[in-house]
Amino acid sequence: MEKVVLYRRKLISKVMLFLSFIAAIYGLFWLFWILGTLFLSGFKHLTLSLFIEDPGPPGIEEGGLRHAFIGHAIITFIASVIGVPIGIFSGIYYSEYGRDSKFFKVLRNITDVMVSTPSIIMGAVMYALLVVPFKHFNALAGCLALAMLMVPVISKTTEEMLKLVPFTLREAAYALGAFKWQLIKDVVLRSAKIGILTGVLLGMARISGETAPLLFTAFNNHYLSFDVFKPMASLTVTIFDYAMSPYEFWHNQAWAASFCLALFVLILSIFAKTLVHSNFGWVKIFKRKKGQRN
């Protein structure tokens, strides 16, 4: 009887392992298919004029996407300036001050829900708050929409990284007479800085490819603009517009811009993953040394 049960367990284990392997191969196939299509269709259309020239008239095969690259960089930068401090400070509060508070447990659950909130909802909210009252689209509303998408990611990552810091470090700082704010600034944040930076990079990667919030807020602009209180061009919305156009030249530029955007997000993600592994390696070394001392 025991042999039958053991054989059944091994059979089920092998079947589930095979199904997991097939699922992984299936996911990787589509991932590499998308990346390969972007590379083959986008790389060949990369030109210097794509980055240094403004778009030409419709139907004329000239010009570039300088306005979209600059506008997207401005919107992403302002969103990061707004979202990064809020995300880090909220993560610190959840980890260091609100651990035993029921109220902040509720806020923490809300943050968990916001991590998976569809971006179009955030765009609709900012449209109602910052576009309708002013009666025109503006880039600032897009910046705030992207910042609110970034905050939950950074907040949760910061909280989890701070929880990895051993409590003995906090006790040692208290024993030396450190105040709470000194403990957080000089001990906890310094120990978790790599993990926090990882969360920031993941947050930036999350907002870099968003289109829906900007359609509702910043809209688009076919000219180079630096005024955040007016519509501003973004790379994602421009790709959408060019892909829907009837002009082959615009289609080619949309492929090239998509390749650049995907490459940027891929580099950020790989860099963030590298930082995560280096941070966990540091934690393992710390625990190993602590065990040797004990």
**pLDDT for 261-282, tens place per residue?**
989 888 888 887 787 666 555 4
Quick one: pLDDT band at residue 286, thresholds 50, 70, 90? very low
Q: Which amino acid is at 185?
A: K
Q: Give this prediction's pTM.
A: 0.84
Residues 209-263 pLDDT 10s: 899 999 999 989 888 999 999 999 999 999 999 999 999 999 999 999 999 998 9
pLDDT of residue 285: 45
* Sign of the C-alpha dihedral computed for residues 4, 6, 8 and 11 taken in this order: negative
For 174-202, write each residue's pLDDT tens digit: 888 888 888 888 888 888 888 888 889 88
Query: How far is the C-alpha of 125 from the C-alpha of 106, rounded, in Å?
Result: 22
Mean pLDDT of the 165-169 span:
85
What are the helix (H) ranges across 53-192?
Answer: 66-92, 102-115, 119-126, 139-163, 167-175, 180-183, 189-191
**Residue 201 exposed, middle or buried by CB count within 10 Å (0-12, 13-18, 19+):** buried
Specify whether domain 66-293 bears CATH 1.10.3720.10.
Answer: yes
pLDDT number for residue 280? 53
What gap in Å lies between CA 291 and CA 288, rounded to an integer? 5
Amino acid present at 229? F
Q: What DSSP state is assigned to residue 223?
A: S
Residues 1-11 pLDDT 10s? 677 778 888 88
Instruction: Report pLDDT for 278.
Output: 65
Cβ atoms within 10 A of the Cβ of 285, count?
Answer: 10
**Alpha carbon distances (Å) from 140 to 10, 26, 143:** 58, 40, 5
The residue ranges of every structural domain in the chain are 66-293
CA distances (Å), 112 to each of 83, 103, 199, 254, in order?
Answer: 16, 15, 14, 34
Give CA–CA dist 88/110, Å, rounded.
16
Are 125 and 139 contacting, i.e. CB atoms less than 8 angstroms apart?
no
